[in-house]
Chains A and B, each alone.
Chain A
């Protein structure tokens, strides 16, 4: 089969959709957090810790659903730590994010050795095995993680625009002092928004681990940071962010195909998503789109 026919195959489409899940859920977590005014570079650490949490609970209980819930709870928990440090403790959000990513990278390896005596990967878990034997595209479209992520993206977009919670969340992100003055509990709202975002991101970490049927050390592989770039490229909008993630995932899937199908050096193809991220950041930097600006109160505390 030629490289071109592989690129335009159903397998490739399915692959792209599957790879979008962790990117999109992490990006949605970033949108929720940053729209409330909290910079979140901890997404990478959240993906990693939720991936381990889901596999550990799945492996321990034998229930894939319990694993998903653990991944979501783990993501929310780690994000709540970030929120507490930044919103209550008022430390710089980048500093907190760096510390959490560092602790998550080390902590997951520590736990891997504590739980399974391995420094690289967990024992394998079953994950979900639905619709076995059906076409790969059908199996992907009815993948519970894809459906949940799509619902979360649509739900978050609606929530931000049409609900009281969403309005207050945005108010905290645009002008925390004004929000506080009219009686919004800024600290509580922001903590809730970041933790909610962490829960969504945790769904992505779980999907990542279930996809490989195990946890591997460092398996988030920079996806949290690319997702954050997608947040910026999207102008902090859930639907656009998901679309940006679809593009990044497509490039990721493409580089894997090209690695298998061509003789081009694999190292050069592997950087494709990262270079694309840089290019995307440059392309959006100078646009005059008024809807695509960062929240006004991003990183500011109420006075």
Chain B
């Protein structure tokens, strides 16, 4: 049924892009704008200028983290729809811990501590669905969605109950915990918010995907995704692995706060990074199983997000959510058509 461990094929990706393009033209035309005009605006707002490129990379950074997180769970056949909530509590944790460190903490200490706090919070948030799934067999799709809602409320409560010391947001994290902008290396990115978090995201993607083949844990996850009962018979602790997969997935989703809190704002406010968790689902479904695929998918959806902002004055940016849905379906259809034996 589900080909969670399979690699994505080129024709399917092409089908997705063409369907997305068609939907773009159709919807823009129906809205009463010119498809070619909007397309050129979209291009200039994204890949047309070095600032635009920087913004696309900035948008792609958290998407790549959450995409890798979802992909890891998907490896074991699990849908982690909770990346959104895991990122929210992770971002809050990064900001709270990062702002409470002594002012002069060197970067080599401060950044890892803030990151560790974010990952721990994300892992803890994923821990609830993990235990519910491993111990009680509760479906992770529903429990992770419920945890997203609970995260919204918990973050709001935390901020209202005193974590937001400057009104609606947390204090600034100490300078050492901030991830430097990429424009120190590439001056033409000046003004855009892309940071070294992008490098960390790409490294994470390659590291995690490599671990699918090279570590016992990774190989077992893939085999559980293909046939959990056979793995049970092989004495692999399937339930424990499933719990671990969700917790690790939550930790990676929490690490996406490198791109939102530590690499961008330097503090947390409600709604910061919102949507990156759901975007990660799209990234994982598209780039499934390969690091290059995940990076390209994150770039595609980063382009759509940034492009949506570039068009928003003329066409509602929510157009891009519809396009994402269309692309996901078209790619999945292309895959399914290939899987099916020719009759």
Q: Please, how many angstroms separate the alpha-carbon atoms of A248 and B25 in the complex?
A: 42
Residue of B nearest to A113 (CB): B316
Of B99-107, B115-123, B143-151, which binds chain A? B143-151
Asked if residues A299 and B1 are in contact (CB atoms below 8 Å), the reply is yes
Contacts of A114 in B (CB 8 A): 30-31, 316
B43: shortest Cβ distance to chain A, in Å? 21
Selected from A99, A110, A265, the residue in CB contact (under 8 A) with B316 is: A110
Instruction: Return chain A residues, CB-CB under 8 Å to B292.
Output: none
A33 to chain B minimum Cβ distance, whole angstroms, is 15
How many angstroms between the C-alpha atoms of A125 and B311 in the bound complex?
A: 31
Count, chain A residues at interface, CB 8 A: 43
- Which B residues are CB-close (under 8 A) to A109? 316, 318, 321
- Cβ of B81 within 8 Å of any chain A Cβ, yes or no, is yes
A282 to B138, Cβ gap below 8 A? yes
Chain B residues, Cβ within 8 Å of A41:
141
- Cβ of B160 within 8 Å of any chain A Cβ, yes or no, is yes
Partner of B326, one of A103, A225, A274, A277: A103
Q: How far is the CA of A299 from the CA of B79 in the complex (A)?
A: 15
Are A277 and B142 in touch, CB under 8 angstroms?
yes
**How many residues of chain B are within 8 Å of chain A by beta carbon?**
49
- CB–CB A99/B136 < 8 A: no
Cα–Cα, bound, A99→B282 (Å)? 8
Contact of B2 among A92, A225, A232 (CB under 8 A): A92
**Across-interface contacts of B309 in A (CB, < 8 A):** none
Q: A residues within 8 A CB of B156?
A: 267
* B31 partner residues in chain A, CB cutoff 8 A: 110, 114
Tell me, in angstroms, the Cα distance from A262 to B326 when the chains sit together. 45
A286 to B318, CA, bound (A): 42
A83-117: which residues lie under 8 A (CB-CB) from chain B? 85, 89-92, 94-96, 98-100, 102-103, 105-107, 109-110, 113-114
20 contacts between A and B (CB under 8 A): A41-B141, A89-B332, A91-B329, A99-B326, A100-B325, A102-B325, A103-B322, A105-B318, A107-B322, A109-B318, A110-B318, A110-B322, A113-B318, A229-B142, A268-B153, A274-B146, A274-B149, A277-B142, A281-B138, A281-B143
- Give the interface of B toward A (CB within 8 A): 1-2, 27, 30-31, 79, 81, 128, 132, 136-139, 141-143, 145-147, 149-150, 153-154, 156-157, 160-161, 278, 281-282, 285, 316, 318-322, 324-326, 328-329, 332-333, 335-337, 339-340
